[in-house]
Structure 1
Amino acid sequence: MDVRDQALLASCPVVAAPRFSPLPDMANGQRIIVASNGWFVQTRLDWLDCITALSLDTPAMRLPYGEVREHLRFSFGQLPIPLIEAFVAHGRKHLPDEAAGVLIYSRGTGRLRLAFCEAVRASPVRIDYRRPPMADDETVAVDLHTHGRAPAFWSADDDRDDQGIKVAGVFGLLDQPKPMARFRLVINGLYQDLPRHPWPGPDAFADRVDGEESAPWPNRWMRSVIRRWTGA
């Protein structure tokens, strides 16, 4: 095998789901799981452990593997609402321009801290920024930015900028008493909305049809995860 392929498979291996035993443990990283009920990606970092479906379509050929269930766990537990409130206050201070910040996870303490990003260029419709310095045991877990007086939504710029693995949050309507917010999990180009997020503002999905799910991902297991994450 070409050494480049060996490196690719080492960085993101493909495993078959055991039928009669649990999945083998994994170190920090990412792997693809082939199961009888679909394809999944498992991601593990200091602050994140999740299995997310890439496809839940049952293969036409019956595979002799086990089934896999999605799950999501944050090592930091509940999202600290005071940190979110502090970021919203920071965003209001910079109106009408956008603002950015991050919640940084420390492996040593197991906790999050809020840090504001240095704006290189900022306007009411865009911000380019530098992330703050971090210690060796720290990593960005939650990436936050505002849309000023505009609603909270995921723009084409957001999709281009949201790379890697993180939770992303965007806040809008900061000139109103209760700003709007949206959160999503970002896994290397896979975006999964977290519609039942902790911010008690206007519903970012208010324009959906009655009875229609707000996003394709929020099934029963995801709703229970969000309750544990937010303390709701």
Structure 2
Amino acid sequence: MTALAEDPTAAAVLAEAPCYPVPPDGRSPAIEAVREARAGSCLAIGRDGVCLILRRAWLALDLPVTPPIPAYLPYGSIGVRRADLRCGLIPAELLRQVLEHFRAALPNEAAAFILWDEANRRFWVDFPQIDRATPSHLTYRPPALPPHHHLICDIHSHGHGAAFFSATDDADDAHATKIALVVGRLGHTDGPAFASRLCAGGMFLPLPRSPFFRRRS
């Protein structure tokens, strides 16, 4: 088979994010290998459009990224949309800890990360060192993680202000795979307010459901 690229760098880039046509019967060992992988990604092209298949130790995402292609393609279907937390839902108690920390930081903005240990399947909260915090500005850095530890949620507050993603947030999140949350209206009787999204494949996606669960009493 003729190579897709002669340049080694270009070939490595294409190998990192390959593109596969879906066979007419829908069964493809190459595509299924990505779906079952601990980490990886590909684009699957079917008669009903193009699907981003992305896997992380904590996330399984199958996302149609185009409408059906109008040209005739003798391909199978890309399958159904999927967005599952392989790590499981995050204990709501951790969100409570984060909100308490954010309220204590008022009127300034604050930040927190929810991390996951793949080996023992344990979640915990990491409060990063803050470089600069004011009521309208925050500078902080993600933690350096050892192998098999993963950043699941990147959370920051807007203090008493509204919850929204800024242009700075968009630039910071553009190449990340994570859940991003902004918390606003802290200290208000009708607060707090939340803005949330899943960052994956260079896209910002609405969360299909809350990533947190509450234990039944």
Task: Answer with 1 or 2: which has the greater Rg.
Answer: 2
Corresponding residue number in structure 2 for 1:24: 32
Runs of 4+ that moved beyond 6 A:
none
What does the per-residue CA deviation read over 1:70-97, in whole Å, with 9 as the maximum and x for residues that have no partner?
1011022122111011101111111111
SS at match of 1:185: strand
Gaps of 5+ in 1: 195-221
In the alignment, the residues of structure 1 paired with residue 163 and residue 204 of structure 2 have an alpha-carbon distance, to the nearest angstrom, of 16
Instruction: State the one-letter code of the partner of 1:31.
Output: C
Corresponding residue number in structure 2 for 1:66: 76
Instruction: State the one-letter code of the partner of 2:133.
Output: A
Q: Does 1:141 align with 2:152?
A: yes
What does the per-residue CA deviation read over 1:103-132, in whole Å, with 9 as the maximum and x for residues that have no partner?
111110123211111100111112111233
Instruction: State the one-letter code of the partner of 1:10.
Output: A
Corresponding residue number in structure 2 for 1:189: 202
2:43·2:50 contact (CA, 8 Å) conserved in 1?
Answer: yes
Instruction: State the one-letter code of the partner of 1:192.
Output: L
Corresponding residue number in structure 1 for 2:15: 10
What does the per-residue CA deviation read over 1:121-154, in whole Å, with 9 as the maximum and x for residues that have no partner?
1111121112334332202111111111111111
In the alignment, the residues of structure 2 paired with residue 67 and residue 131 of structure 1 have an alpha-carbon distance, to the nearest angstrom, of 39
1:132–1:230 distance in 2 versus 1, CA, 3 Å: closer
2:59·2:85 contact (CA, 8 Å) conserved in 1?
Answer: yes
1:116·1:132 contact (CA, 8 Å) conserved in 2?
Answer: no
Gaps of 5+ in 2: 1-5
Q: CA deviation at 1:18?
A: 2.9
Instruction: State the one-letter code of the partner of 2:9.
Output: R
RMSD: 1.7
Corresponding residue number in structure 2 for 1:200: none
Query: TM-score if structure 1 supplies the norm length?
Result: 0.80
Corresponding residue number in structure 2 for 1:172: 184
Aligned length: 200
